[in-house]
Structure 1
Amino acid sequence: MGVANAAAPSTAKASVVKEQAPPLGRAAATTSPLYRTGTLPAVRCTTGQIRAGSAASYRAFMTRVNHCLNLAWKTQFNKVKLPFSQPVLRFTTSKVTSPCGRWPGGAGGYYCSSNRTIYIGVFRDVLKSPYAPNHAQFMAHEYAHHVQHLAGIMNYYSQSIWRAKPSTKLAYSRRLELQADCLGSAFLRQISGDLPVEQEQWDAMIDWVVENGHKTWATNDHGRGPSQAYWMKRGFNAGSPSACNTWTAPSRTVA
């Protein structure tokens, strides 16, 4: 779940790498240089285990996954000399308000572009399930919104929905969220050596998403279950951002 605030000024600092600015406007989304970066690196990601009901083990696991995401996406951005900075990771036991507004309904966490912060809820219902790949996918999805922000995609999204009619806003939101599903799954593929995702487990995850992925959201702003599954499979099969250009995809795939 990403929450954008286009009015927030950029606070990114220049890297030691000779960088170039990301594309502006529609080009940021449709022809992003990230689509030409190839597969994400196979990062060594020693995540540890999540123990059911243990907030400490959940925080430790998600922190380690976040560290691996930092390494992987820094490499991708460096390939095309785009500026990169790490997001802030904040755990919370309550649905806090951020500079982007209230905690989105139905979300277990979200990314706020205004302060470049990923909020992860440490809630009782979350701690019931120790299934690590599912939580890693969730972390990678929220991190993908940070990637979209750095690449200029989030800004294009914010500009596109400004004063747009409700149906248009939902259509753009689906493209944004489904791209995050895809990018998250591409990362999950590349750490599967350390966080094994067995075929049977992956199939079960996809089947669940097909049937239930859309039920959390009151409006169709994240895509129907089959659409979420479609983009997750694309990302996981490719392990690369090249598979995740939802912005030029046919409408039927982002429904």
Structure 2
Amino acid sequence: MRLRNVKRSRNIEDRRGRGGKGVAGVGGLGVGGVLFVLAIGYFTGIDVTPLLNGGAQPQQTSAPRALTEAEQQAGEFSARVLATTEEVWTGIFPQAFGKPYDPPVMVLFSQVTASPCGNASGATGPFYCPADEKAYLDTDFFATMRQQLGAGGDFASAYVIAHEVAHHVQNELGILGQVNAARQQVSTREANALTVRLELQADCLSGVWARNVAGLMEKGDLEEALNAARKIGDDHLQKRAGRVPQPHTFTHGTSEQRQRWFVTGYESGDPNQCNTFDTDRL
């Protein structure tokens, strides 16, 4: 992805290097192993406790530290990708929905941080908190995608950011609140099904973003995003965790669904084509 001439977003809150709490290794896995196992739990909604053989206990770390070169590069990359989402949605949102777009803040953190939606660990993956309208990202997750999940490439990482911003778009439209209210009224199986539709819509909206930054894309970028969508499909991750896929536990959609809805957004460039709540075919 060509980001050299893209200016950094100002909506970045960088908490890395401030010190605080870290995550201890669990069951002999070490931080890398814990990160992989909990990433599976995050993307599938499955219980990963048996894989951990214990519980991760926060530890106090030393005083604030300087960021490594890799962290600096990841932060720069994230700030520029966020800027592309701001430009895209500031242009599209009023046309599609008849009101201005208010972009989110992205919080960059290392290992653990606090949010109004609860304490967050980098092991759980990126997430969006509607309570403070912020997207949270441990930039080490990019390495996890590449090394542990087999979803490398800069555009795969950009897709992750675009997906969390897509949740903010949903929040701006009131969709997150509606889905959350509906989830409280139904069974776990039905709540999971609603969450799948929410996540697939975010994938589609990510595709809309990709279509509108096509001028920044390089050869192979689209394939990187589609590969990432495949690698983080619920069925793929449950198989990788040694389980038979159980559709009623899915919370993000299958690999095929995630890829197809991303392509729907990419090919149409129209967020109104991303209505996953009004279709019989996910």
- For 1:157 and 1:124, how far apart are their aligned partners in 2? 27
Task: State how 1:77-226 maps to structure 2 within 5 Å.
Answer: 77-79=93-95, 80-103=97-120, 107-123=124-140, 126=143, 129=146, 131-196=153-218, 198=219, 200-203=220-223, 205-207=225-227, 209-210=229-230, 212-214=232-234, 215-216=236-237, 219-226=249-256
Q: CA deviation at 1:95?
A: 3.1
Q: Is residue 243 of structure 2 the alignment partner of residue 227 of structure 1? A: no
What TM-score do you get using the length of structure 2 for normalisation?
Answer: 0.64
One of 63, 70, 94 as aligned partner of 2:86: 70
User: Letter of the aligned partner of 2:118 in structure 1?
Assistant: G
Q: Deviations over 1:94-129 (max 9, x none)?
A: 132321124389642110000000101122762784
Residue 207 of structure 1: how far off its partner (Å): 4.8
CA contact (8 A) 1:55 1:127 kept: no
Q: CA deviation at 1:249?
A: 1.4
Higher relative contact order (CA 8 A, sep 6+): 1
Unaligned runs of 5+ in 1: 1-43
Alignment-mate amino acid for residue 160 of structure 2: F
Q: Separation in 2 of the partners of 1:209 and 1:192? A: 18
What is the alpha-carbon root mean square deviation over aligned residues? 2.8
Q: Which amino acid aligns with 1:226?
A: E
| Distance of 2:187 and 2:122 partners within structure 1 | 21
Corresponding residue of 2:74: 58
Give the CA deviation at 1:188: 1.1
C-alpha separation between the residues in 2 aligned to 1:105 and 1:122?
8
Whole-angstrom distance in 1 between the partners of 2:191 and 2:145? 34
Q: Does 1:246 align with 2:276?
A: yes
Which stretch of the first structure deviates more once superposed, 116-125 or 172-181?
Answer: 116-125
Look up the SS of the partner of 2:113 in the other structure. Answer: coil
Q: What is the CA distance between 1:89 and its match in structure 2?
A: 1.0
User: CA–CA distance in 2 between the matches of 1:76 and 1:143?
Assistant: 14
SS at structure 1 position matched to 2:216:
coil
- Unmatched 5+ residue regions in structure 2? 8-68, 147-151, 242-248
Mapped partners of 2:209, 2:141: distance in 1 = 27
2:214 partner SS: coil
Matched residue count? 204
Question: Taking every aligned residue pair, what percent have the same amino acid on both sides?
Answer: 26
For residues 45 and 188 of structure 1, the distance between their equivalents in structure 2, rounded to whole angstroms, comes to: 17
Question: Are the aligned partners of 2:81 and 2:158 in contact in 1 as well (CA < 8 Å)?
Answer: yes
Look up the match of 2:57: none
Cα deviation for residue 77 of structure 1 reads 2.6
Whichever of the two has the greater Rg, that structure is 2
CA contact (8 A) 2:6 2:83 kept: no
CA distance in 2, matches of 1:234, 1:185: 7
